[in-house]
Structure 1
Amino acid sequence: MTAGTQHRQPPARVPAPPGAADVERVRAAVAAALAGFLAEQRQTLAAMDDSLVPVVDEVCALAEGGKRLRPLFAYWGWRGAAAGAAGVAEADADVLRGVAALEFVHASALVHDDVMDGALTRRNRPATHIGFATRHGDAGLHGDAAGFGVGAAILVGDLALVWSDELLRRSGISAPALARARGVWDTMRTEVTAGQYLDLLRADGGLPGPGGALTVARYKSAGYTVQRPLQLGAAIAGAGPDVGDAYTAIGLPLGEAFQLRDDVLGVFGDPAVTGKSVDDDLREGKQTLLIALAEERADEAGRRLLTGALGHPDAGAEQFATLRTLLEDTGARARVEDRIADRTAVARAAIAAAPISDEARAALDALAVAATTRTA
């Protein structure tokens, strides 16, 4: 496929979800669980010292909005397995509180990722480290404002991770279900942290090429976005290994497609929709599959452009626009779009074959399409 041709999109057949109202019900329940938990934590931190209130306020801001995809995958993973599972049935409300804890894991990863990337914005507001650096200056504190901001952001991310454990433990799901969930939960959080390190390593020349980019994507984002949330739901339900294997067959390709869509949006998305500049990923020098594929096919001038502009904070909008043209002209964007379509098709075939309820199968198929055709 050459630049300027129509990119192949994920499958056009968009399934009707079992009920958009039910998706919104899950999102609303997750939001309510987070709000109630954070209100308690605000009182706890304020009782320690009023100066801690901005810390909980920052976690509140991070937890607001979002697509709630991880709780949705976990919830439907539970619903899909619950009918045929041997375990005692859990209450719907308790499971919703439990899967809401995934949003704190996500918030933690976002904050730490922004620190490591030197990002300026997140969801149409200053990144956490930037916001706390500004607070430092506004309060007339001594010392380095930027260093203060980075230190505060690290702690905010750590606190969100601590609270993810607490919310899961206090969700109300039974002790046996909680014990089953812990194995998936621990694996997921280990993978996310390991993936962050692999991302750092790749940024400095380790894990080169397209294979390295996909390895980072799998462990840093893809696994904890789809595969592990699905398996968390299965563990809460007490499902057998056949369901766990089916969820791996769904989660790995779909999680990869989700992350690749994120990479495309980071460079070609609409800032008014995504909440971040299309120059940020290029300025930060993110070594995504897009970049790896462009490097493979770029001519000498293209390689000079990649070396001279990618990851350089002083590069301007014109250079970044030229970089985007290079990603088109080398076919990198088209190849990534093709991989998104392929991985999505593989995941949807696995959903169709999964030993789960028809209702959950329809819901997961709709979520698969939404996750890979999104614009933000």
Structure 2
Amino acid sequence: MSAASDLVETENLRHDVDAALERHLAGLVDEVAATGPGTTAMTDQVSSLLEGGKRLRAAFCYWSFRAHGGASHGAARDAVVRVGAALELFQAAALLHDDVMDASDTRRGRPTAHRVFEARHVAQRWTGEAERFGTAAAILLGDLCLVACHREAASALDALDAPVSRAARDLFDAMTSEVVVGQYLDMLVQAEPWGEDPAADEERARLVLRAKSARYSVERPLMLGAVLAGATSDRVDAIGAAGLPLGEAFQLRDDLLGVFGDPAVTGKPAGDDLREGKRTVLIARTLAHGDDDARRLVTKHLGDPRLTDDDVATLRAAIVASGAVAGVETLIDDLAAAGMSALAAADLDPRGREVLQGLARAAVVRAA
């Protein structure tokens, strides 16, 4: 099967999604610039963040549309492409807020937005706290992207028949609410006691990854594509049943990469998730199955932003020795198999099914 980049290029999808994003951003630049001087720094940062994305969410939506009988040209196809652009704008909003909450320094090999605005404050020798300015600017930028995604989706759906438009709008709105609540659940997990009941910890970590990432990364885009093709509720539910386990596997792969990924590929420092203290299934399984030394190491050092590369290497070794990595890999395989089985059983156009299967594999087996 072709690589993910090739699949996203198929039927000119990446080009068309990028063109839709460029059109929306052009209008946004004019609107923002007219508001007052100095404001185009916001849209410059949005453009930077949107560059180079995988466009997997847009691709899942589009190829679900095609797999459910949607045409490769026409008004409905144009609407699906624009909904794909809205999904990319929503991801940008989620990443901006996530980076602030995690105090991340880099994203895709570049400084995160709050660090960019913090550095701008320092360089201009403005008054007040540079860090606070950067944080506030990034939050507002995330809000701007959230507004943009809803505007793009609404404009796209206005061109469709009312029943399809209404169903897609309801699903899109539910997706955005889920992610916001998922972000809160993530904060709650970070704040609540951890390590006393590893099985409960793992279930809480999985609840977070489903709400915060799995649904909007795979399940909801697949369901949106089906709705936009006019699929029956049974077929929409069937593609959703494939999407949720695939979305879980996608996020679990992200969690592994956050600890073991190559910085040259991921664009983030090695072991960044350990410094940020992310409480994931990987960490829950380390605490559940590691020896006393491993548990002490994790309890003491998880969330320490001063961890050296040697500290990270020591923690990694303990995580591997606990069997947590092998266990999460097995869980990824099981979830991916369940998702693939559901795709195979769903009532889909053969070509669309083939591309969706390729996209699913690319989402689960990746290095960034």
TM-score (norm 1): 0.91
Q: Who is 2:174 aligned against?
A: 187
Q: Mind listing any 5+ residue stretches in structure 1 that lack a counterpart?
A: 1-13
Aligned equivalent of 2:95: 110
User: What amino acid sits opposite 1:25 in the alignment?
Assistant: N
Match of 1:8 in 2: none
Q: Secondary structure of 1:170's partner?
A: helix
Task: Say what the alpha-carbon RMSD is for the aligned residues.
Answer: 1.8
SS of equivalent residue, structure 1 residue 349 = helix
For the pair 1:60 / 2:47, whether they are aligned, the reply is: yes
- Cα deviation for residue 20 of structure 1 reads 4.0
Q: Distance in 2 between matches of 1:202 and 1:16?
A: 35
1:327-348 per-position Cα deviation (integer Å, ceiling 9, x unaligned) = 1100000101111111111111
Aligned partner letter, 1:315: L
Matches within 5 A, 1:248-263: 248-263=240-255
Aligned to 1:32: 19
1:16 Cα deviation after fit: 9.0
Residue from 154, 159, 174 that aligns with 2:160? 174
Does residue 75 (structure 1) correspond to residue 62 (structure 2)? The answer is: yes
1:168-216 deviation line (CA, Å, top 9, x unaligned): 1222631523222111111101110011001001111268511111111
Matching residue's letter, 1:186: D
Q: CA deviation at 1:264?
A: 0.8
CA distance in 2, matches of 1:278, 1:354: 39
CA drift of 1:129 comes to: 0.8
Q: How far apart, CA to CA, are the structure 1 residues paired with 2:193 and 2:278? A: 13
Deviations 1:251-303 (A, max 9, x none): 11000000001111111111111111122111000011110100101222212
CA–CA distance in structure 2, aligned partners of residues 206 and 156 of structure 1: 32
Shift in Å at residue 90 of structure 1?
4.0
Amino acid at match of 1:173: A
Q: Distance in 2 between matches of 1:31 and 1:326?
A: 43
Contact 1:45 1:53 in 2 (8 A): yes
Mapped to 2, the partners of 1:54 and 1:110 lie a distance apart of: 18
Tell me whether 1:247 sits opposite 2:239 in the alignment.
Answer: yes
Superposition deviation, residue 21 in structure 1: 7.5
Aligned match of 1:10: none
| CA–CA distance in structure 2, aligned partners of residues 190 and 45 of structure 1 | 26
Contact 2:7 2:359 in 1 (8 A): no
CA deviations 1:83-128 (Å, max 9, x no partner) are 59xxxx7432232112210001101111111111111100111111
Equivalence for 1:7: none
Assess if the C-alpha contact under 8 Å between 1:265 and 1:375 holds in 2: yes
1:82 aligns to what SS in structure 2? coil
Structure 1 residues 245-324: aligned runs within 5 Å: 245-324=237-316
Aligned residues: 358
5+ residue gaps, structure 2: 195-199
Tell whether the 8 Å contact from 2:3 to 2:362 is kept in structure 1 after alignment.
Answer: no
- 2:353 corresponds to which of 361, 367, 376: 361
1:233 is aligned to: 225
Counterpart of 2:34 (choices 31, 44, 47) is: 47
CA distance in 2, matches of 1:333, 1:361: 31
CA contact (8 A) 2:178 2:211 kept: yes
Q: Does 1:331 align with 2:301?
A: no
TM-aligned CA distance change 1:261 to 1:352, over 3 Å:
same
2:129 is aligned, of 127, 130, 144, to 144
Highest RCO, 1 vs 2 (Cα 8 Å, sep ≥ 6): 1
Q: CA contact under 8 A between 1:309 and 1:315: conserved in structure 2?
A: yes
Could you say what secondary structure the match of 2:39 adopts?
Answer: helix
Give the Cα–Cα distance (whole angstroms) in 2 for the partners of residues 70 and 20 of structure 1. Answer: 12
Q: Are residues 310 and 82 of structure 1, via their aligned partners in 2, closer, same or farther at CA, if it must alter by over 3 Å?
A: same
8 Å CA contact retained: 1:73, 1:364: yes
SS across alignment from 2:268:
coil
Q: TM-score of the superposition, structure 2-length normalised?
A: 0.93
- Counterpart contact for 1:81–1:239, Cα < 8 Å: yes
How far apart in 2 are the matches of 1:104 and 1:307? Answer: 37
The CA distance in 2 between the partners of 1:20 and 1:303, in whole Å, is 42
Paired AA for residue 190 in structure 1: S
Q: Distance in 1 between matches of 2:98 and 2:302?
A: 18
Report if aligned partners of 1:83, 1:357 keep a CA contact under 8 Å in 2: no
Matches within 5 A, 1:120-131: 120-131=105-116
Matched position secondary structure for 1:91? helix
* Deviation of the 1:244 alpha carbon: 1.2
- Identity of aligned pairs, percent? 46
Runs of 4+ more than 6 Å apart: none
